[in-house]
A = this chain, B = another copy of it.
Amino acid sequence: RHPQGVKGGASERLESHACNLSVLLWTCTRTLAHLVTVRWDVSRRNEMFMFASEPDRKLVRVQDLTPEKADQLIWLRARVHTSRAKGKQCFLVLRQQQFNVQALVAVGDRASKQMVKFAANITKESIVDVEAAVRKVEQKIESCSQQDVELHVERIFVISQAEARLPLQLEDAVRPDGEGEEEGRATVNQDTRLDNRVIDLRTTTSQAVFRLQSGVCQLFRDTLTKKGFVEIQTPKIISAASEGGANVFTVSYFKTSAYLAQSPQLYKQMCICADFDKVFCVGPVFRAEDSNTHRHLTEFVGLDIEMAFNYHYHEVIESITDTMVQIFKGLRDNFQTEIQTVNKQFPSEPFKFLEPTLRLEYTEGVAMLREAGVEMGDEDDLSTPNEKLLGRLVKEKYDTDFYVLDKYPLAVRPFYTMPDPHNPKYSNSYDMFMRGEEILSGAQRVHDAQLLTERAQHHQIDLEKIKSYIDSFRYGAPPHAGGGIGLERVCMLYLGLHNVRQTSMFPRDPKRLTP
């Protein structure tokens, strides 16, 4: 009844059973329930979820399995990545996140025939505890991250058994597009991935993407904290839809209606008016746009900055671009493994940037596009294809994947954008681009209630709806500027990926609300 988890002989099995009952119960029940017909009462079954006392074991990590550990007996908890039985032997690959190691269960002194059979029947993706000897190998194991050692398994327990039929195979999910097509090997389409995200997130590529994303947030905050910024928390449920109420989600709020914030901008600006001087926030942003493109989500993570300046809004541009540069450097220096892991599946050129960051004026950008044959008016907005083309032209000319386009036409920006004092057709506003795609939109804001009122009227915005916003500037407001960065876009473009859903753990778009 306990073929698994015990050394070769039956007496040892019994001994182990007797002295380590709760461990066995905990670890084996799920498996036993499949292998033999045993009824467990509730109290006994619950034992599987807690050891009565902690066993005297240290679990090692797969990434630490190196030749220095050779000939040691170790304990390991890992997933069964693959399993291949071959006569009296069973080869397992055991995986922890992006690391894996080969393990051998072979009939002999240490393992019975039954145990090999048991090991061979463990379903892929099950979680197991193994006791094993670490052995150096003569030939590198190319298919594993731990190439110099393998494990000779002496005991194996199933901690959590996976269902036999997986909705997708991890090896298919990391296969580069087109590779192995002639052998009829599958890749996994995006909807299958997203529908089964719990499994798709286990791939080396996903693990790398989201560890890097965690790094982007940390670098963003650490850089700004060092610059004296204060982190703020802004509400997501708001009473009035700013900017005329387009593209906003409505929420039932007790007996009334409310909206989901399209950006934290109003609140960041209120913090500036409240003397916080330099603020940032990281949080969800909601856009009810029915856009089904590679770069639009209905909910994404905004990395937002707002800052009072002394004399010129370029002080703020410099703070933001320097923050981006610190992020790029931090990723380059601390996330090489992750970048290379992603590149294996999705090859791309390393991300290039300049110090200081290139800043072009809008008119310069338009001139470059015209030179390349694009016909557009001085005050026309940039179309997405023209943004991408301009990105390529800038890359050719300046060898950078990151730049700022400054001084947008006033007409294409929101009402709260400060006009250019030297030319009323333009504005003190800017976008920032990575690999030709917009990742930040920002501006100096109108900080004067009277001018703000005029600008809102010009845009035919109902003043009643933005009264509290305008009132925020009536009691002394410093000149200020800021911007909002899309986290998923930064990760997508830094890694050279092609869909923002690859860098959103649980993406939301007009057609997807699950998982």
By a beta-carbon cutoff of 8 Å, the part of chain A in contact with chain B is 30, 42-43, 45-52, 54-55, 59, 77, 79, 96-97, 125-127, 159-163, 166, 197-202, 206-207, 210-211, 213-214, 217-218, 221, 225, 230-240, 249-254, 256, 258, 260, 267, 270-271, 273-277, 282-284, 286, 288, 290, 298-299, 301, 310-313, 418-422, 424, 428, 444, 446-448, 451, 468, 472, 474-479, 487, 504-508, 510, 513-515
Partner of A162, one of B225, B284, B475, B507: B475
A206 to chain B, nearest CB (A): 8
A235 to chain B, nearest CB (A): 5
Partner of A235, one of B276, B283, B506: B506
Q: Which residues of B contact A54 (CB under 8 A)?
A: 311-312
Q: Which residues of B contact A420 (CB under 8 A)?
A: 46
Known A97-B277, A218-B221: A514·B198 in contact at CB below 8 Å: no
The closest CB in chain B to the CB of A315 belongs to: B54
Extra contacts, 13 of them, besides A50-B428, A97-B276 (Cβ < 8 A), are A42-B424, A43-B421, A49-B446, A52-B421, A199-B475, A201-B276, A210-B232, A218-B231, A235-B507, A237-B260, A237-B299, A237-B513, A270-B506
A71 to chain B, nearest CB (A): 24
Query: In the bound complex, how far is the Cα of B202 from the Cα of A448, in angstroms?
Result: 19
Known A231-B214, A235-B508, A479-B49: A254·B290 in contact at CB below 8 Å: yes
Whether A79 contacts B476 by the Cβ 8 Å rule is yes
Q: Which residues of B contact A197 (CB under 8 A)?
A: 270, 274
Known A159-B479, A160-B476: A238·B513 in contact at CB below 8 Å: yes
A199 to chain B, nearest CB (A): 6
A172 to chain B, nearest CB (A): 15
Partner of A201, one of B240, B258, B271, B504: B271
Query: In the bound complex, how far is the Cα of B281 from the Cα of A214, in angstroms?
Result: 10
Query: In the bound complex, how far is the Cα of B447 from the Cα of A418, in angstroms?
Result: 54
Whether B267 contacts A506 by the Cβ 8 Å rule is yes
Query: In the bound complex, how far is the Cα of B89 from the Cα of A256, in angstroms?
Result: 54
Q: Which residues of B contact A284 (CB under 8 A)?
A: 233, 235-236, 283-284
Known A55-B311, A515-B468: A96·B47 in contact at CB below 8 Å: no
Partner of A51, one of B214, B225, B311: B311
Q: Which residues of B contact A277 (CB under 8 A)?
A: 97
Whether B250 contacts A251 by the Cβ 8 Å rule is yes
Partner of A299, one of B49, B235, B419: B235
Query: In the bound complex, how far is the Cα of B59 from the Cα of A312, in angstroms?
Result: 14
Q: Which residues of B contact A217 (CB under 8 A)?
A: 231, 233
A488 to chain B, nearest CB (A): 8
Whether A237 contacts B286 by the Cβ 8 Å rule is yes
Q: Which residues of B contact A50 (CB under 8 A)?
A: 311-313, 418, 421, 428, 444, 479
Query: In the bound complex, how far is the Cα of B215 from the Cα of A400, in angstroms?
Result: 36
Whether A478 contacts B160 by the Cβ 8 Å rule is yes
Whether A202 contacts B275 by the Cβ 8 Å rule is yes
Known A160-B477, A476-B79, A506-B234: A274·B213 in contact at CB below 8 Å: no
A224 to chain B, nearest CB (A): 11
Whether A161 contacts B283 by the Cβ 8 Å rule is no
Query: In the bound complex, how far is the Cα of B254 from the Cα of A513, in angstroms?
Result: 11
Whether B201 contacts A214 by the Cβ 8 Å rule is no
Whether B218 contacts A478 by the Cβ 8 Å rule is no
Nearest 4 A-B pairs (CB), nearest first? A201-B274, A239-B513, A46-B421, A162-B476
Partner of A267, one of B213, B290, B299, B505: B505
Partner of A127, one of B159, B210, B476: B476
Query: In the bound complex, how far is the Cα of B198 from the Cα of A114, in angstroms?
Result: 73
Whether B283 contacts A444 by the Cβ 8 Å rule is no
Whether A310 contacts B126 by the Cβ 8 Å rule is no
A443 to chain B, nearest CB (A): 12
Q: Which residues of B contact A59 (CB under 8 A)?
A: 310
Q: Which residues of B contact A213 (CB under 8 A)?
A: 233
* Interface CB pairs A-B, < 8 A, 10: A43-B422, A50-B418, A51-B312, A162-B474, A163-B475, A166-B475, A199-B475, A207-B276, A214-B230, A240-B514
Partner of A448, one of B43, B160, B251, B487: B160
Q: Which residues of B contact A267 (CB under 8 A)?
A: 505-506
A147 to chain B, nearest CB (A): 21
Whether A508 contacts B96 by the Cβ 8 Å rule is no
Query: In the bound complex, how far is the Cα of B423 from the Cα of A42, in angstroms?
Result: 10
Q: Which residues of B contact A422 (CB under 8 A)?
A: 43
Partner of A274, one of B198, B256, B282, B444: B198
Whether A43 contacts B468 by the Cβ 8 Å rule is no
